[in-house]
Chain A
Amino acid sequence: MQFPVCSSAHSSCFGPQIFCSVRLRGRQVPRALGHSVSTRTLVGVNHSRKHSSPFSLYARGVRAAAPSTSMEDEQWLTFPFLSASGKRLMEECADIIAKELGSSLELTRTPADVRHFKNPQGNGEGSVTLRSGKQGSPIDFVLGSWLHCALPFGVLNIATLVGMNSLETDAPHLLFEFIQPGPNSLVVVLDLLPRKNLVFDGEYLKRFYEDTALESIRQELQKTPGAQRYDPPTLYIRCLTSPTCIMYKVEGSSEQGQNSLDQIIENSVSPAAKGVINVWLESVFKLGKKVHDADAEILLGLDTVIKTKGVEVDLSSNMPRLFGQEIADRVVQAFRRGE
């Protein structure tokens, strides 16, 4: 069973029909229900590529094998309701992920009614898109989603990017949530979720957290004027995150509203997000080690807890209320297939 992490209490991850009609997507290959993608990752050749720099492919413009795949790689996600800066940020990040992971990822097979849905009341829309990792790759799946809701206190926009790794690597998972509860404020959650117990595993802490740029990225973002730590309402979510987790809320100035927030997005959030994604890619392709059989069960257990507890908290608290049980169930099914 696979569930992606959607770890803000507001967040739910939801899919888009808007761009289905705009651009043709990969074929919807029927899958048997309950097909578990995770078993694939224990078998077969390790397809992970070693890069000297995570941006090497991006710079050289190398594409995956077939030309049709490369066109589909670009813009596998769009974020139609965010401000110009937010939209640009999320789409650029989605592009980086698609380009760098390239041939490690399948095209999306998420059903159209999960890639876009609306609620009957007409005040909520959402989208969830998943792309599973190819057999033997270090990626289990990647997920992109957005939610747009007109609520009494204002318009809520949540955008999420998640990268869940397979057992081909022990590298931490990627979590990026970008939440605008209104035109004047912003919440950013950016983290590499640890897959080992850091109290015991000093080597893991050192390899992925002490020796990477994560702490300096966090400290830099913390300097943003008006940035305050964001506390997720549930204690459990705080336990899943790493010691270098970025969780900040920022209030823009009310006179300038979206403009001042846009500046913060461009000047502070964007470099931080790209920096963390960079470290994640580096972790997956360079720093990560293959998981030994002895550790596999424990890691898989932890990954399952992250997925089920992450989703359980989110979906069961938000989706049925905003979109009804039917849509909520459909989205959960897509998660379970991991595609």
Chain B
Amino acid sequence: MENVSHMTGKKTEWVHFPFLSEAATRLMREIADTIDEELGPLLCNSQTPSDVTHFKNSKRTAEGSVVLRAGKDKTQISFVLGSWLRCKLTAGTLDIATIIIMVGHEIDTPHFMFELIQNDNNSVILLLDFLPRKDVVLNPDYLKRYYDDTGLEKLRKGLDKIPQSKVYVPSSLYVRSLVSPTALLYKFKNLIHSDSNANDTGNAEDLDALVKEIVYPTAKGALMKWLDAFRNKVNKITGEESLQLLERDNQIKEKGIEIDLSSNMPRLFGHEITHKVIQAYRKGV
């Protein structure tokens, strides 16, 4: 996917989500566009090879895309990533859409993580968080600045109140240790209707309405809070502290994200494609 220069005033999407439901597509579109508008000047165009921006497996049971845009100054924004994965499993079809903003090691803003998982229109899982760059136990000021004061907790509580929502607990203990204390991790399912005519289409519509009316404003709200923090609350980090940030970020990238990619992808796409994707991810372009 290539980005057209901003100067011509003509923009194409830097990442495209072809398979999600209507409301979910609009949501991912909006997040990607907002990032492009607000962070565009800080980002290069994507240079991700085309066999990483789109790949399929030979059995046609799985398809995916990973698009990266490097930061112009990697000490501020390292890269942004947009990706989607679709797999047809025996249990149904799974669609995973992800947008991540990886921050550079000379500022301490948390990373922005947003993932939406749709399972055959039966459920929607949301993972939305500002991933901490510091140990919040030892740095309560960090906790206050980026979590207490940003009002992320209020957004989270809003989702908690929805009858269709249930707390989602990631199966990986490591991922649980990475996320913040206000991480928005929820699974949305339609409540069981007594009406036996409630069919799949009905369920799909209900869920889509939920995505449109609840998840969309929440995710957009979180992104705006992140952008505000990125612009206004940032502490510049140098020296030893910067090295610590870098070390922690490397852990997050390797153990958090890379392991996730390399555990699922070989099974779906084979080692060759997996290797190319991971190479692109490591380069961050």
Contacts and interface: CB of A to CB of B under 8 A. Distances in A.
Interface residues of B, number: 23
Nearest to A238: B181
A235 B174 CA distance: 19
A305 interface: yes
B143 A205 contact: no
A231 B251 CA distance: 28
Contact of B174 (A205, A228, A236, A309): A205
A229 B167 CA distance: 7
A240 interface: yes
A243 B177 contact: yes
A239 to B, nearest CB: 5
A199 B140 contact: no
A182 to B, nearest CB: 21
B173 A199 contact: no
Contacts of B143: 235-236, 239
Contacts of B73: none
Contacts of A242: 177
Given A197-B135, A210-B173, A302-B137, 16 more contacts: A198-B174, A198-B177, A199-B135, A199-B178, A200-B248, A202-B174, A205-B173, A205-B174, A205-B177, A229-B167, A231-B160, A235-B148, A235-B182, A240-B137, A243-B174, A244-B173
B138 interface: yes
Contacts of A199: 135, 177-178, 248, 251-252
Nearest to B181: A238
Contacts of B167: 228-229
Q: Which 6 pairs, one residue from A and one from B, show the smallest C-beta to C-beta distance?
A: A243-B176, A238-B181, A198-B177, A243-B173, A235-B181, A229-B167
Interface residues on A, range: 20 to 34
Nearest to A209: B173
11 contacts: A198-B173, A200-B251, A205-B173, A229-B167, A236-B136, A239-B181, A240-B137, A243-B174, A243-B176, A243-B177, A309-B137
A64 B242 CA distance: 52
Interface string A186-217: 00000000000111101001000110000100
Interface of B: 135-138, 140, 143, 147-148, 153, 160, 167, 173-174, 176-178, 181-182, 247-248, 251-252, 255
Contacts of B247: 200
A303 B182 CA distance: 23
Contacts of B248: 199-200
A235 B148 CA distance: 8
A243 B179 CA distance: 10
Nearest to A200: B251
A307 to B, nearest CB: 12
Contacts of B173: 198, 205, 209-210, 215, 243-244
A241 to B, nearest CB: 9
Contacts of A200: 247-248, 251
Most B CB atoms within 10 A — which of A238, A240, A309?
A238
